[in-house]
Structure 1
Amino acid sequence: MKVPVPDELLAADRLGTVHFVGIGGAGLSGIARIMLARGIPVSGSDAKESRTLDALRTLGATCHVGHDAAHVGAADTVVVSTAVRESNPEVVEARARGLRLLPRSAALESVMQGRRVVAVAGTHGKTTTTSLLTVALQHCGADPSFAIGGELNETGSNAHDGTGELFVAEADESDGAFLVYSPHAALVTNVEADHLDNYGTEEAYRAAFDEFVDRVDPDGFLVVVSDDPGADHLGDVATSRGRAVVRVGEGPGADVRAEDLRFVGATSTFTVVDGGERLGEVRLQIPGRHYVLDAVAALACGLRLGFGFAELAAGLGSFSGTRRRMELKGEVGQVRVYDSYAHHPNEIRGDLQAARSLAGDGRVVVAFQPHMVSRTRIFGHDMGVALGAADEVVVMDVYVAREEPEPGVSGALVADAVPLAAEHVVFEPSWSAVAAHLVERARPGDVVLTLGAGDVTLLGPEVLDLLGEDS
Structure 2
Amino acid sequence: MHKIHVHFMGIGGSGIAPIAMLAKAAGFVVSGCDYQETNYEETLLHHDVNFSIGHDVSHLEDVDILAVSPAIFDINPDHPELLEGLRREIVMTWQEFMGLYLQKDKKVISIAGTHGKSTTTILAGLTLEAGGLDPSVQAGTIYRPWDAGCRIGESNYFVGEADEFNCNFLNYSPDIAIINNIEMDHPEFFETFEDFKEAFRKFIMRIKEGGLLIVNEESRGIQEVLGDMKDWIKDQEIRLVGYYLNKSFDFPFDKEYKGQIISYDADGMVFHVKSEDIDDIVKLGILGDYNVSNSLGVLSAALYLGISKEEIKDAFKNYKGVGRRSELKANIRGIKVYDDYGHHPTAISAVIDNFKKMYHDHKIYAIIEPHQISRLKMFPDEYLQAFSKADETIVTKSYMGREIHKHLEPIDLQAMVDKVSNHNAVYIECFEKLVEHIADKLVPGDIVIVFGAGKSYQITQKLIDLLNSKYRH
- Same fold per TM (> 0.5)? yes
Deviations 1:326-370 (A, max 9, x none): 111010011111111111121011111222234241011010000
Post-superposition shift, 1:441?
3.0
Q: Aligned partners of 2:259, 2:431: CA distance in 1, in Å?
A: 41
CA contact (8 A) 1:266 1:286 kept: yes
| Deviates most, 169-178 or 429-438 | 429-438
Q: Are positions 1:146 and 2:137 aligned together? A: yes
Q: Aligned partners of 1:183, 1:391: CA distance in 2, in Å?
A: 43
Partner of 2:93: 103
Partner of 1:261: 262
- 3-state SS in 2 of match to 1:106: helix
CA contact (8 A) 1:268 1:288 kept: yes
| Deviates most, 17-26 or 439-448 | 439-448
Deviations 1:260-315 (A, max 9, x none): 3322234211111113x652112122111111111111111111222122211210
Post-superposition shift, 1:414?
4.7
Post-superposition shift, 1:95?
2.8
CA contact (8 A) 1:213 1:238 kept: no
Q: AA paired with 1:154? A: P
Partner of 1:293: 293
Q: Aligned partners of 1:266, 1:363: CA distance in 2, in Å?
A: 20
Deviations 1:83-116 (A, max 9, x none): 21221221122234x1411112211112110110
CA contact (8 A) 1:376 1:410 kept: no
- 3-state SS in 2 of match to 1:20: strand
Q: AA paired with 1:206? A: K
- 3-state SS in 1 of match to 2:181: coil
Q: Are positions 1:273 and 2:274 aligned together? A: yes
Q: Are positions 1:72 and 2:73 aligned together? A: no
List gaps (5 residues or longer) in structure 2: 250-255
Partner of 1:4: none
- 3-state SS in 2 of match to 1:175: helix
Partner of 1:407: 409
Q: Aligned partners of 1:235, 1:308: CA distance in 2, in Å?
A: 30
- 3-state SS in 1 of match to 2:205: helix
Partner of 1:60: 48
- 3-state SS in 2 of match to 1:196: coil
Post-superposition shift, 1:147?
0.8
Q: Aligned partners of 2:284, 2:327: CA distance in 1, in Å?
A: 14
Q: Are positions 1:387 and 2:396 aligned together? A: no
For residue 245 of structure 1, the aligned residue among 210, 215, 240 is 240
Partner of 1:428: 428
Write the mapping of 1:43-58 to structure 2, written as runs, cut at 5 A: 43-58=31-46
Q: Are positions 1:466 and 2:466 aligned together? A: yes
Q: AA paired with 1:446? A: D
For residue 114 of structure 1, the aligned residue among 95, 105, 119 is 105
Post-superposition shift, 1:319?
0.7
| Deviates most, 351-360 or 231-240 | 231-240
Write the mapping of 1:221-236 to structure 2, written as runs, cut at 5 A: 221-236=212-227
Post-superposition shift, 1:138?
1.2
Q: Are positions 1:32 and 2:33 aligned together? A: no
Q: Are positions 1:186 and 2:177 aligned together? A: yes
Give TM-score scaled by structure 1 length. 0.92
Deviations 1:380-411 (A, max 9, x none): 33112123221010001100001135334143
Partner of 2:253: none
List gaps (5 residues or longer) in structure 1: 1-12
- 3-state SS in 1 of match to 2:174: coil
CA contact (8 A) 2:7 2:66 kept: yes
Give TM-score scaled by structure 2 length. 0.92
Partner of 1:198: 189
Q: Aligned partners of 1:329, 1:439: CA distance in 2, in Å?
A: 16
Alpha carbons of 1:295 and 1:45: their partners in 2 closer, same or farther (altered >3 Å)? same
- 3-state SS in 2 of match to 1:148: strand
Partner of 1:5: none
Partner of 1:10: none
Partner of 2:119: 128
CA contact (8 A) 1:288 1:357 kept: no
| Deviates most, 458-467 or 27-36 | 458-467
Q: Aligned partners of 1:88, 1:240: CA distance in 2, in Å?
A: 46
Query: What RMSD, in angstroms, separates the aligned Cα atoms of the two structures?
Result: 1.9
Post-superposition shift, 1:14?
8.2
Q: AA paired with 2:96? A: A
Percent identical among aligned pairs is 28
Post-superposition shift, 1:35?
0.9
- 3-state SS in 1 of match to 2:40: helix
Write the mapping of 1:321-470 to structure 2, written as runs, cut at 5 A: 321-404=321-404, 406-412=408-414, 414-421=416-423, 424-470=424-470
